[in-house]
Amino acid sequence: MTEQAIINGCMHNDPIAQRELYNRYSPKMLSVCYRFAHNRQDAEDMLQEGFIKVFTQMNTFQNRGAFEGWIRRIIVHTCINFLKKNKKFNESVELAQATHLHTREETIPSILQGKQIIECIRQLPVGYRTVLNLYALEGYSHKEIAEMLDIEESTSRSQYTRAKTMLETILLKRKIVDSPKQEYNWLAAFSK
Protein backbone atom coordinates (compact mmCIF):
# COMPACT_ATOMS: atom_id res chain seq x y z
CA MET A 1 0.00 0.00 0.00
CA THR A 2 1.46 3.38 -0.97
CA GLU A 3 1.77 6.20 1.53
CA GLN A 4 -0.86 8.20 -0.34
CA ALA A 5 -3.26 5.22 -0.31
CA ILE A 6 -2.71 4.90 3.46
CA ILE A 7 -3.40 8.61 3.95
CA ASN A 8 -6.55 8.50 1.81
CA GLY A 9 -7.77 5.36 3.58
CA CYS A 10 -7.16 6.81 7.02
CA MET A 11 -9.04 9.96 6.08
CA HIS A 12 -12.02 7.70 5.39
CA ASN A 13 -11.51 5.71 8.62
CA ASP A 14 -10.55 2.56 6.72
CA PRO A 15 -9.34 0.06 9.36
CA ILE A 16 -6.98 -1.67 6.88
CA ALA A 17 -5.26 1.64 6.08
CA GLN A 18 -5.14 2.54 9.78
CA ARG A 19 -3.53 -0.81 10.61
CA GLU A 20 -1.00 -0.34 7.80
CA LEU A 21 -0.14 3.16 9.00
CA TYR A 22 0.32 1.91 12.56
CA ASN A 23 2.43 -1.08 11.50
CA ARG A 24 4.61 1.08 9.28
CA TYR A 25 5.30 3.97 11.68
CA SER A 26 4.79 2.66 15.22
CA PRO A 27 8.29 1.14 15.67
CA LYS A 28 10.00 4.47 14.90
CA MET A 29 7.50 6.43 16.94
CA LEU A 30 7.86 4.05 19.90
CA SER A 31 11.57 4.84 19.96
CA VAL A 32 10.68 8.56 20.07
CA CYS A 33 8.30 7.91 22.98
CA TYR A 34 10.84 5.75 24.76
CA ARG A 35 13.34 8.62 24.81
CA PHE A 36 10.84 10.80 26.68
CA ALA A 37 9.36 8.09 28.92
CA HIS A 38 10.62 6.81 32.24
CA ASN A 39 9.67 3.23 31.41
CA ARG A 40 8.29 1.07 28.61
CA GLN A 41 4.70 1.26 29.89
CA ASP A 42 4.75 5.06 29.74
CA ALA A 43 6.27 4.92 26.24
CA GLU A 44 3.53 2.56 25.08
CA ASP A 45 0.86 4.80 26.62
CA MET A 46 2.37 7.82 24.84
CA LEU A 47 2.43 5.90 21.57
CA GLN A 48 -1.21 4.85 21.95
CA GLU A 49 -2.35 8.40 22.73
CA GLY A 50 -0.25 9.73 19.88
CA PHE A 51 -1.71 7.41 17.27
CA ILE A 52 -5.23 8.19 18.43
CA LYS A 53 -4.41 11.84 17.71
CA VAL A 54 -2.87 10.92 14.35
CA PHE A 55 -6.05 9.11 13.31
CA THR A 56 -8.39 11.83 14.58
CA GLN A 57 -6.33 14.65 13.03
CA MET A 58 -5.72 13.11 9.59
CA ASN A 59 -7.76 15.87 7.98
CA THR A 60 -5.13 18.42 9.15
CA PHE A 61 -2.34 16.81 7.10
CA GLN A 62 -1.95 19.04 4.05
CA ASN A 63 0.71 17.13 2.06
CA ARG A 64 3.28 19.81 2.91
CA GLY A 65 6.45 18.17 4.09
CA ALA A 66 6.97 14.55 4.98
CA PHE A 67 4.06 12.53 6.33
CA GLU A 68 6.39 10.82 8.81
CA GLY A 69 7.51 14.24 10.07
CA TRP A 70 3.88 15.23 10.61
CA ILE A 71 3.29 12.04 12.61
CA ARG A 72 6.49 12.63 14.59
CA ARG A 73 5.43 16.15 15.60
CA ILE A 74 2.14 14.80 16.89
CA ILE A 75 3.95 12.07 18.84
CA VAL A 76 6.45 14.53 20.36
CA HIS A 77 3.66 16.87 21.47
CA THR A 78 1.76 13.91 22.87
CA CYS A 79 4.82 12.89 24.90
CA ILE A 80 5.16 16.39 26.32
CA ASN A 81 1.46 16.56 27.17
CA PHE A 82 1.67 13.13 28.80
CA LEU A 83 4.56 14.30 30.99
CA LYS A 84 2.74 17.52 31.90
CA LYS A 85 -0.54 15.73 32.60
CA ASN A 86 1.14 13.22 34.87
CA LYS A 87 3.22 15.96 36.47
CA LYS A 88 6.37 14.06 35.59
CA PHE A 89 7.99 17.07 34.01
CA ASN A 90 8.17 18.84 37.37
CA GLU A 91 10.68 16.34 38.74
CA SER A 92 14.11 17.89 39.04
CA VAL A 93 17.44 17.56 40.80
CA GLU A 94 19.39 19.86 42.99
CA LEU A 95 21.62 22.33 41.18
CA ALA A 96 24.61 21.05 43.17
CA GLN A 97 24.17 17.59 41.63
CA ALA A 98 24.41 18.95 38.11
CA THR A 99 27.17 21.50 38.33
CA HIS A 100 30.20 19.65 39.68
CA LEU A 101 31.55 18.86 36.19
CA HIS A 102 32.34 21.45 33.59
CA THR A 103 30.41 21.04 30.37
CA ARG A 104 31.97 19.88 27.13
CA GLU A 105 30.30 19.23 23.80
CA GLU A 106 29.48 15.65 22.75
CA THR A 107 31.83 13.34 24.66
CA ILE A 108 30.82 9.73 24.14
CA PRO A 109 32.98 7.15 22.38
CA SER A 110 32.07 6.41 18.78
CA ILE A 111 31.59 2.69 19.41
CA LEU A 112 28.69 3.27 21.77
CA GLN A 113 25.38 1.81 20.61
CA GLY A 114 22.24 3.93 20.48
CA LYS A 115 20.52 1.64 22.97
CA GLN A 116 23.22 2.26 25.58
CA ILE A 117 22.87 5.99 25.10
CA ILE A 118 19.10 5.82 25.48
CA GLU A 119 19.49 3.87 28.71
CA CYS A 120 21.89 6.50 30.05
CA ILE A 121 19.65 9.37 29.00
CA ARG A 122 16.69 7.70 30.69
CA GLN A 123 18.61 8.11 33.95
CA LEU A 124 18.29 11.88 33.66
CA PRO A 125 15.50 13.70 35.49
CA VAL A 126 12.44 14.14 33.29
CA GLY A 127 12.94 17.87 32.72
CA TYR A 128 16.55 17.43 31.64
CA ARG A 129 15.70 14.45 29.45
CA THR A 130 12.80 16.29 27.81
CA VAL A 131 14.82 19.39 26.93
CA LEU A 132 17.73 17.27 25.70
CA ASN A 133 15.41 15.29 23.42
CA LEU A 134 13.61 18.35 22.10
CA TYR A 135 16.75 20.39 21.44
CA ALA A 136 19.36 17.82 20.40
CA LEU A 137 17.17 15.28 18.60
CA GLU A 138 13.98 16.94 17.50
CA GLY A 139 15.70 20.18 16.49
CA TYR A 140 13.51 22.63 18.38
CA SER A 141 15.06 25.94 19.43
CA HIS A 142 15.24 26.90 23.09
CA LYS A 143 12.57 29.53 22.40
CA GLU A 144 10.21 26.88 20.97
CA ILE A 145 10.95 24.52 23.86
CA ALA A 146 10.21 27.28 26.36
CA GLU A 147 6.83 27.87 24.72
CA MET A 148 5.99 24.16 24.57
CA LEU A 149 6.91 23.49 28.19
CA ASP A 150 5.74 26.80 29.67
CA ILE A 151 9.22 27.63 30.96
CA GLU A 152 11.66 30.46 30.40
CA GLU A 153 14.06 30.23 27.46
CA SER A 154 16.97 30.53 29.90
CA THR A 155 15.56 27.54 31.81
CA SER A 156 15.59 25.49 28.64
CA ARG A 157 19.21 26.43 27.99
CA SER A 158 20.33 25.65 31.52
CA GLN A 159 18.43 22.35 31.61
CA TYR A 160 20.10 21.35 28.35
CA THR A 161 23.55 22.24 29.70
CA ARG A 162 22.87 20.39 32.95
CA ALA A 163 21.52 17.39 31.06
CA LYS A 164 24.73 17.11 29.05
CA THR A 165 26.84 17.45 32.21
CA MET A 166 24.79 14.88 34.10
CA LEU A 167 24.85 12.52 31.12
CA GLU A 168 28.63 12.75 31.03
CA THR A 169 28.72 11.84 34.74
CA ILE A 170 26.53 8.79 34.13
CA LEU A 171 28.70 7.70 31.22
CA LEU A 172 31.86 8.05 33.29
CA LYS A 173 30.35 6.15 36.23
CA ARG A 174 29.21 3.33 33.97
CA LYS A 175 32.67 3.30 32.41
CA ILE A 176 31.19 3.86 28.99
CA VAL A 177 33.81 6.55 28.61
CA ASP A 178 37.26 6.20 30.14
CA SER A 179 38.13 9.84 29.91
CA PRO A 180 36.21 13.04 29.39
CA LYS A 181 38.68 13.78 26.59
CA GLN A 182 37.13 11.20 24.24
CA GLU A 183 35.59 13.17 21.44
CA TYR A 184 32.49 11.89 19.75
CA ASN A 185 29.26 13.12 18.30
CA TRP A 186 26.80 11.38 20.63
CA LEU A 187 23.88 12.82 18.73
CA ALA A 188 24.60 10.67 15.67
CA ALA A 189 24.51 7.44 17.67
CA PHE A 190 21.60 8.48 19.87
CA SER A 191 19.30 9.55 17.08
CA LYS A 192 19.43 6.26 15.14
DSSP secondary structure of the chain: --HHHHHHHHHTT-HHHHHHHHHHHHHHHHHHHHHH-SSHHHHHHHHHHHHHHHHHTGGG--S-S-HHHHHHHHHHHHHHHHHHHTT-TT----HHHHSSS---S----TT--HHHHHHHHTTS-HHHHHHHIIIIIS---HHHHHHHHT--HHHHHHHHHHHHHHHHHHHHHTTS-S-TT----HHHHHT-
What is the rounded CA–CA span in Å between residue 24 and residue 36? 21
Q: Is the pTM of this model over 0.75?
A: no
Range of the domain at 174: 95-190
What would the pLDDT profile of 61-82 be if each residue is shown by its tens digit? 988 889 999 999 999 999 999 9
**Residues 133 and 66 occupy one common structural domain:** no
Closest CA to 29 of 61, 69, 72, 70: 72
Residue 180: pLDDT over 70? no
Which pLDDT score is estimated for 191? 45
- Among the three residues 38, 64, 85, which one is the final residue of a domain in this structure? 85
Pick from 56, 85, 114: which residue ends a domain? Answer: 85
CATH number for the domain spanning 10: value is 1.10.1740.10
Please report which confidence band the pLDDT of residue 87 belongs to, taking 50, 70 and 90 as the band edges.
low
Is residue 11 located within the same domain as residue 81? yes
Confidence of residue 137 (pLDDT cuts 50, 70, 90): confident
Residues 122 and 81 placed together within one structural domain of the fold: no
Q: What pLDDT, on the 0 to 100 scale, is given for residue 39? A: 86
Please give the tally of structural domains in the chain. 2
- Percent of the chain exceeding pLDDT 70 equals 76
